[in-house]
Amino acid sequence: MFNLGFFKGLPTEYIIRYQSGRVTKKGPGLAFYYLRHNTQIVAVPTSSTDGNFVFNEVTQNFQAVTIQGQFTYRIASPEVAAALLNFTMNPGNRAYISNDPERVPQRIANVIQMQTRGEIQSRDLEAAIRDSQLIAAQVLSTIQNQGLLATLGVELLSVYFLAAKPAPEMSKALEAPYREGLLRRADEAIYARRASAVEEERKIKQNELNTEVLLEDQRRGLIDLQSANAVQEAESRGRALETEAAFRARSTQMELDVFKTLDPRLVLALGIRELGQNAEKIGNLNITPEILSSLLQVQEQAPHGDAEA
């Protein structure tokens, strides 16, 4: 009873059942009962699998370059693969009894490396780094077209180069021109910004100067206008003074003409009367007899003079 077992394969496994050294059953995803003592089960995975690789190669100009990438494959011919490698499985724990299945990715990586080496050696360092994805596509096409993995029963689905790196010192050397270019562009940007700032400052100063010139022109016009107005005002004031003086002289003359027809004694009496009415405005007034006698004599002689005239 304990010699009887049951095995159920996965849909992505190609199962080959050996009983007493003979193939009794094969196909994808088989399920069956078996006798433990004389049955071997081979399970070849047919699903797609990913693998990684890292290659160190030398370019045409003898520069080291490291290629890091990934590939995807599947076992397209399980019987061919099972004939070359041991895919026998322990049905109890579903573990392979050998490490042959683990060797498949390494064998594929070896084929990819050989094709990659030919492509890298035909290019210089700059071209190898620049054309890394083109090289990956060329390697995939060559392997597929030439069937280099057909003997393993494997189909290569894709190849990608994730990185193509030179040696650290060469990497710095390759980066130097671009880095210097970036620094030069940064310097040019700084110079351009400074030049723009100087130009803007010049424009501001020019605007300030233009404003000052305009203000001075306006100020000069204002001074000229004020001078013209002052001259005109002075002329007007002079004419007004002349008119006023002439009016006062004419008025005084008219007032004096009235006294010409009066008796001198009457004029003297009116003058003394006027003095009396304005006595509070006069500080001291001394009229001596001699002054009074002289005035009387002048007044007495005046009519004779007028008569003679």
Judged on CB neighbours under 10 Å (0-12, 13-18, 19+), 115 is: buried
The pLDDT assigned to 308 comes to 39
The count of other CB atoms within 10 Å of the CB of residue 108 is 23
Backbone angles phi, psi at 85, to 5 degrees: -125, 155
Per this entry, what is the length of the chain?
309
Q: How far apart are CA 113 and CA 142, in angstroms?
A: 12
Q: Maximum Cα–Cα distance for the chain, whole Å? A: 193
The H-or-E segment that residue 205 falls in is: helix 168-260
Strand order from edge to edge, sheet including 95-96: 22-28, 13-19, 39-45, 88-90, 95-96
Q: Which residue from 229, 210, 211, 209 is spatially nearest to 221, judged by alpha carbons? A: 229
- Token pair belonging to 246: 């002439």
Q: How far apart are CA 96 and CA 105, in angstroms?
A: 16
Q: Are 32 and 5 in contact (CB under 8 A)?
A: no
Judged on CB neighbours under 10 Å (0-12, 13-18, 19+), 221 is: exposed
- Token pair belonging to 217: 């022109």
pLDDT along the chain (309 residues), means of 10: 84 93 92 90 94 94 93 95 93 91 94 94 91 94 94 95 88 79 88 90 91 89 87 86 82 72 70 71 70 63 45
Residue 200 DSSP code: H
The pLDDT assigned to 306 comes to 45
Backbone angles phi, psi at 5, to 5 degrees: -130, 165
The pLDDT assigned to 247 comes to 82
The pLDDT assigned to 304 comes to 47
